[in-house]
Chains A and B, each alone.
Chain A
Amino acid sequence: MLKTTPFHERTSALCVSHAWRRWAGYVVASSYELSHEREYHAIRAAAALFDVSPLYKYSVRGKHAARLLDRVVTRNVLGAQVGQVLYTPWCDAAGKVIDDGTVARLGEDEFRMTAAEPNLRWLEANALGLQVTIEDVSASIAALSLQGPCSLAILKELGEIPPLKYFRLAQATLRGIPVTLTRTGYTGDLGFEIWVDRDKALPLWDALIVAGTPYGIQPAGMLALDVARLEAGLMLIDVDYVPANKALIEGQKSSPYELDLAWAVNLDKPHFVGRQALAAEKVRGPQWQFSGVEIGWEGLERLYADVGLATRLPATAWRASVPIYSGVEQVGYATSGGWSPLLKKYVTLAHLRAAWARPGTQLDMEVTVEHRRKRAAARVVKKPFFDPERKRA
């Protein structure tokens, strides 16, 4: 049997599409409506509400809590302020990414970590000899993500919201319900994630829906989220990279540098897991680069025109491995892609050999047109594809 999230009573009533999918052992909605289109547009135009409870959450407390996390992740946790949230990858000793998530400093000696995969054993293995309590709070804390330009206005309807900068957190009370708010999300838009005790989950959901309805709030599923995260250039574990502890061969593993996360690797820290390997890689330069690649419209249109068809576009964001060529040589592969309804562009996230990763580089991507493999002209572009001011404002 699969698990249901604390919001299931509400989400199941709303999910008229009956389109469910698995996420970390839970069932979550792929889309609530028959098509995910309105849910996507709510992210960019109003506010979308996602149930993100299946995320793994760890409470890390104690005298050495900061030291432990600083040792585990690639960013500087010791230097983080109380109230700060860090997005960060973490690596094995060979400097290959195991997972990525956030580390929120709730207090001097208290942190909450989110992860896509279970990490209790890894945290414990790193905590040998440290005074720290690590607790898996995945099931006891429910989480919602409220994303979109109206998200702040909706929250303000429900209570006093302290000014909250990008990647900061605050404790707040929404209609009498104590929550932790973080200004984070997976859409690349203005947005918040709301963390709440699981027994307060339903009243919180109801309050948000009531307050949000005048603002066009829309419960949204994974399909809409996938399009938004693609536009935002955000990578997804198991799709865009294979976590090092699940990789079957070396070639499947990626370093933070190869995933375009150089900014998140703090080599000034004297020690963290993977530091030595990463320092060496930095000198050497990474072999791969995780890049944005845009398929040109004209080329695509011509390929379809050649067989007498109008251009066909994927209805949802895809997750597959698609070869990318420079001339006859394969120089990379795209792992996520799709049509951006907002940008009117066919965008993909791709792993490119470093020499071909400079923005502007002309490449060819494989597309299948009427059962035949063709190559469409594509171009390396900077990520994120969509980066509104309001995200950080």
Chain B
Amino acid sequence: MNVVVLGSGTDALVAGHLLARAGHRVTLLNEGLTGAKADDGWVAPAILEALGLGIQSGWADPWASVLLADGGTLDLWQDMTRTVESLRRVSPRDAGKWPDFCQRMAALASVFEEMYAKPPVNPMDVGLAVRVRRLGRQGMEDLMRVLPMPVAELLDDWFECDALKGALGAMGILHLQQGPRSAGTAFRLLHHHVGSPPGVFRPPRSNLGALLRASAAVETRAAAVARINVREGRVAGVVLASGEEMEAALVVSSLDPRRTLLELADAGWLDPQLARAVSHLRRRGVAARLFFKGQPQSLVVAPSLDYLERAYDDAKHGRVSSAPYLEARAVDNGTEVHFQYTPYAGGREIAEATRRLLPGLADAEPSVLGPRELEAREGWPEGQAYHVELALDQALWMRPLPQLAHYRTPIEGLWLCGPGMHPGGGIAGAAGFNCVRALLSHLSKRGKPPA
């Protein structure tokens, strides 16, 4: 049947290709966007198997060069013994604890790894309980304790080196309007660790998006959708910004749930309580993306947990962080910098603060995309890369809301699959994969769909 997939990210691409492989006529409407960089992340093997694809994926090595107070760097390597060597220079105590920490975190992340390539399981699920018990006493205690914890307390329990704690703590707050002392941020460290080998705490990058974009299996149109047509509670098609109407029995949206349900489809089809809950989804953008031409550079500026917390304090009161968390990454012809935190409409101070902290960047006129620009450029609502903030109350079986967590919406034929869905941003394509699996199983259960 005719399927329209909305969005430009990996989730949309994965969903589109899987639906095409299942024999549907798929049109992908990508709004003219070329694909969000935040889609990078771990690709579950099940997705590749389903797509019949092989990809290249990996990390920079060192995966993080962390700026130290004395101007030097602490290099964290994929090879654990090399990291231990690096750490020994700044803290022999931390060096001694590193392998143990890595093993413990990897064990916890493995629980999520299994959960992420599947629709979310209810926490009362018996299978989940059995899986958690398999972790053994140590693992179970870790899981119960770590999940709701502030990442700062977790790291303070283990380490003394501020730069190490800063670099790890940054994964707890990435794209989140919270600081490292906020409860629940330890879970996010694990989230971003999923799929990485022990000792690597940065999501990998892959060419999955590029491969899928290059494929011709799915018709892609650079058109924006203005409305999703709903008739008698069932999807009838979409209306493009140009006014053109397309009929479709299925619409799979990787756009954010709020926009999809309240703006594109008519909120009147939803239970008003649900519509209200959708309108309450938190999705504040907190980061800017900068690009400096010239000498490529890779550096993490997160010298301590307090530093990150103070950066957040600014954000809390609606200001651009005067001393932000930065993650500079060498790319082809320059350096791309993740800047956190900035409010929705950040100004010149973003570039100024970045240059001050990374004097090596020569470009006097870097490109600066704040949340407002990222919203326009990438379709991130309010500039939030994950569409729905990944906090404990909006994660797992609660993502984005318990009533929508299984990718299906109350509007027959309308499905959700973006980073706003389980497992969420930073995990490439899994929401698209999970959504299509749920969708196909729904169709086969329902029998022959109406034409």
Contacts and interface: CB of A to CB of B under 8 A. Distances in A.
B266 A125 contact: no
B273 A271 contact: no
A297 interface: no
A126 B273 CA distance: 9
A92 B279 CA distance: 18
* Chain A residues touching B, majority SS: loop
A129 B232 contact: no
B268 A122 contact: no
Contacts of B273: 92-93, 125
Nearest to A64: B268
A67 B273 CA distance: 18
Interface in B257-291: 262-263, 266-269, 271-276, 279
Nearest to B275: A128
Interface residues of B, number: 15
B366 interface: no
A126 B274 CA distance: 10
Interface string A90-118: 00110000000000000000000000000
B267 A129 contact: yes
B278 to A, nearest CB: 9
B262 A271 contact: no
Interface residues of A, number: 14
A129 B268 contact: yes
Contacts of B99: none
A125 B272 contact: yes
Given A128-B262, A129-B263, A271-B233, A122 B269 contact: no
Interface string B418-447: 000000000000000000000000000000
A273 interface: yes
Nearest to A123: B272
Interface string A121-147: 010011011100000000000000000
A71 interface: yes
B7 to A, nearest CB: 21
B382 to A, nearest CB: 17
A270 interface: yes
B271 A271 contact: no
A130 B266 CA distance: 9
Contacts of A271: 232-233, 268-269
Interface in B238-264: 262-263
Interface of A: 67, 71, 92-93, 122, 125-126, 128-130, 270-271, 273, 276
Interface of B: 232-233, 262-263, 266-269, 271-276, 279
Given A128-B276, A128-B279, A276-B233, 14 more contacts: A67-B268, A71-B268, A92-B271, A92-B272, A125-B273, A126-B268, A128-B272, A129-B262, A129-B263, A129-B266, A129-B267, A271-B268, A271-B269, A273-B272
